[in-house]
Amino acid sequence: MIDRYIYAVTKKLPRKLKNEIGSELKVLIDDMMDGMDNALSEEEKVDKVLRELGNPQELASRYRGKERYLIGPNYFDKYLFVMKTVVLSIFIGISVAWGFGSIFSIESIAGMIGDYIGTLLSATLQGATWVTGIFALLEYNEISVETGMKQKAWDPSQLPELPDKKAIISRGESIFAIMIATIILTLFFFLPEIIGIYYKAGDGLNFIPLLNLEGLARFKVIIFLVFTTNILIELIKIIKGRWTMKIAIITTLLNVISATLSINVIYKIDIWNSEIVQKIEQYTPVSFERIILITTAAIIIITIGESVSALYKGIKYGGKK
Amino acid sequence: MENNIDDLVLNGLIQELRRGTIILAVLSQLKQPQYGYSLIVLMNEKGFDIEANTLYPLLRRLEKQGILESFWDTDGTKPRKYYRLSEYGEGVYLKLCAAWSDINRAVKHLIDEEE
């Protein structure tokens, strides 16, 4: 019993303290038992002593000196908020994507539902793990969510400025963007076969897949990166809640990375279904290369637009730094 | 029932009041080396109740802060860790004593004024 108690106290203490505290406790328990009324039996004594020492976990935390948290009180509110946002976006994103899928798919409904639940579970789990992991890391290193730096002694100058109304980042927009990203990501990852061009041919609906599934497989990692980068941008914006120079720079940087990666991918001829390339060239005056060029231009323009707007807001509302 | 809750609140407040004085009380008894259990017995005899699960971690913390120093005595049947005030600790103890009597005086003044 005594050994079990000591084990319970010391098992989560740092290794170098373990032995010393263990032997110290052993002697203490021994001494306490010696100091007791001899009329008591050995077992009664042990029982009494251990009760007096109390819950081993409490004793261990006293030895440790401070409470340990995976996600402590400083981070908990933010954590909860981000977690809700992420889980909700994943849920809606995947549901919508699968909704589309079920309209166009030839698979049986039952099979679709099974797949849907499976995807939903694994994606939610992934999301939750990432969020928890990131926050645990912040907690462990005591990095402030607000400043991104080690927490220092508080000083009035750290008080955030009252935000200009226009400086506040709309949560709704960010959540919407995350959902869109999740929907597209889900489509690319789990239902790439349904992306394509649908057109009327006689009575039925005819369909040409847009993507070459084998070619696509090799770029899944990059595609995943593009979308997770976008989701990350939106998450950072939500957490911060208002435009600052730092947010503007981070957003711009991630935007550029994401754009570069996507342009890289669309230029890989492998990922496109060769049939669709031919069809387009056959029925429209523009060549497929042209279309890719136009898409690239669109991505670049959008990226520049977003970055300029972010930087503008950052400079205007972010103050110095 | 109501009485119980009142007692609970009061007990909590008394515990809180005591907590701050524990360190001073412990340091006062460590001019001579003591091991944990002997210190508990000694203090209980003098009317200051302290529990092992408070004292042991506290001794360790004070040692880490350099206020106490320790040595192991392995001569007897049971190996024991003895603690006593370090040189630095003696200085700290004196300053704590001064702070304590200041607080005492001030609080006494406030209480007496009330009456």
Contact A25 B53 (CB under 8 A): no
Residue A110, number of CB atoms within 10 A of its CB: 8
CATH value at residue B106? 1.10.10.10
Residue corresponding to tokens 């279309």? A291
pLDDT higher at B74 or A121: A121
Contact A53 B53 (CB under 8 A): yes
Q: What is the pLDDT of residue A154?
A: 66
Residue A120, number of CB atoms within 10 A of its CB: 17
Average pLDDT over residues A96-112: 72
pLDDT digits (tens, 9 = 90+) for A30-68: 888 887 777 888 888 888 888 888 888 888 888 887 666
pLDDT higher at A99 or B71: B71
Indicate whether B18 belongs to any domain.
Answer: no
Sequence-ordered strand ranges (E) for A112-211:
196-201, 204-209
Q: What is the 3-class SS of A58-96, one letter each residue?
A: HHHHHHHCCCCCCCCHHHHHHHHHHHHHHHHHHHHHHHH
- pLDDT-above-90 percentage for chain A: 2
Indicate whether B82 belongs to any domain.
Answer: yes
Q: What is the pLDDT of residue A140?
A: 78
Q: What is the pLDDT of residue B103?
A: 93
pLDDT higher at B5 or A120: A120
Indicate whether B31 belongs to any domain.
Answer: yes
Q: Per residue in A125-159, is it b (16+ CB within 10 Å) or e — as a string?
A: eebeeebeeebbebbeeeeebeeeeeeeeeeeeee
Please report which confidence band the pLDDT of residue A202 belongs to, taking 50, 70 and 90 as the band edges: low
Q: Which residue of chain B is at minimal alpha-carbon distance from A53?
A: B53
pLDDT higher at A198 or A145: A198
Residue A19 exposed, middle or buried by CB count within 10 Å (0-12, 13-18, 19+)? exposed
Number of domains observed in the structure of chain B: 1
Residue corresponding to tokens 């106290």? A9
Which residues in chain A touch residue B52, judged by CB atoms under 8 angstroms apart? Answer: 28, 32, 52-53
Range of the domain at B39: 23-114
Q: What is the pLDDT of residue A320?
A: 46
Indicate whether B4 belongs to any domain.
Answer: no
Min Cα–Cα distance to chain B from A63, Å? 5
pLDDT digits (tens, 9 = 90+) for A165-185: 777 777 788 888 888 888 888
By the 8 A CB rule, do A77 and A146 touch? no
Indicate whether B27 belongs to any domain.
Answer: yes
A52 touches chain B (CB under 8 A): yes
Q: CA-CA distance, A38 to A213, in Å (whole number)?
A: 82
Query: Which stretch of A18-27, A154-163, A305-314, B105-114 has the lowest confidence by average pLDDT?
Result: A154-163
* CA end-to-end span of chain A: 60
Average pLDDT over residues A128-139: 85
Helix (H) or strand (E) holding B19: helix B2-28
Sequence-ordered strand ranges (E) for chain A:
196-201, 204-209
| Degrees, nearest 5: CA angle A78-A80-A86 | 100
pLDDT higher at B64 or A110: B64
Indicate whether B3 belongs to any domain.
Answer: no
pLDDT tens for chain B, 115 residues long, are: 556 777 888 888 888 888 889 999 999 999 888 888 889 889 989 988 888 888 888 998 899 889 999 888 887 777 888 899 999 999 999 999 999 999 999 999 999 886 6
Q: Average pLDDT over chain A, rounded to whole?
A: 80
Contact A28 B56 (CB under 8 A): yes
